[in-house]
Amino acid sequence: MGDVAIHRTADMKKLKSPTVVMGFPGTGLVGSVAASQLVESLQMSFGGYLSSSEFAPLAAIHDYKPMPAARIHYSEKYNLVVILSEMTIPISSSNEVADRIYEFSKSVGASSIISLGGISLQDEKKGVYVVSSDAAIVKDIIEKKIAKPIKEGATTGVTGILLTKGTLDHFPITTILAESSEEYLDPRAASNVLRVLTRMIGIQINTTRLDKEAAEFAKDIQETVTKAKISKRKGGPQASEGGSMYG
């Protein structure tokens, strides 16, 4: 038995059937980046953190202030809770983390849980996809053409466990996945995820910073590729290709 625990630093009693949004690291770090931007854009308050002896021994530093890497933020104004992690959740802790998040969400009377993340299909670079335990949510997304539903496939980790729980308990749990790069942080994919979230929950979220970072990053990548081509033509050193595997 593990020791994953959620520690509240605020009572959050004024929240009324809030939406719980979750963002963990994964493909393109989309979940973490999108959740962090959500917290910053809506100026959400710090409300608690997750702990476990299995977690990496690190602190996240924001605006000069050390913070728990896995933490909770909330907003009474927007009736919203965000659970985010800036560290990878160990596979051995996935079941317990999912259990604690589910229990916490129920304890604050959450109306639903929405997970944010990235997906690498090498198909459509701007595509955004949705999976939900609630058929009505999927139907609404199809009708409004907000994103594309996934008919067949698999999802792992904390999100996968929560989706199964939602299906078995008839509780709405949804994941929004944006087509993302596997090799590097992808702010554009995080921005695309937030645009879909905006339409789902009706809260305006500022993605200007992410869009700017995406444009700058794309420029840097283009310059790197151009330099590599020039070096290759001149007979300079070339990088070898390698494969990566993601869980």
pLDDT tens per residue, range 104-144: 999 999 999 999 999 987 765 579 999 999 999 999 999 99
The DSSP element (H or E) to which 230 belongs, if any, is: helix 208-233
Handedness of CA 190, 195, 196, 199 (dihedral sign): positive
- Output the pLDDT for position 221: 44
User: What is the percent of the chain where pLDDT is above 70?
Assistant: 84
- Output the pLDDT for position 219: 53
- Output the pLDDT for position 214: 61
pLDDT in tens, 41-64: 999 999 999 999 999 998 999 889
Q: Closest Cα to residue 112, out of 85, 130, 89?
A: 130
Handedness of CA 111, 117, 122, 123 (dihedral sign): positive
Q: Closest Cα to residue 211, out of 189, 188, 228?
A: 188
* Mean pLDDT computed over every residue of the chain: 85
Expressed in angstroms, the distance from the first to the final Cα of the chain is 23
Q: Closest Cα to residue 30, out of 168, 195, 143, 215?
A: 195
Mean pLDDT of 12-30: 94
- The answer to whether 113 and 175 are in contact (CB under 8 A) is no
The token duo for 228 is 């590599």
Q: Residue 242: pLDDT band by 50, 70, 90 thresholds?
A: very low
* CATH of region 5-207: 3.40.50.10900
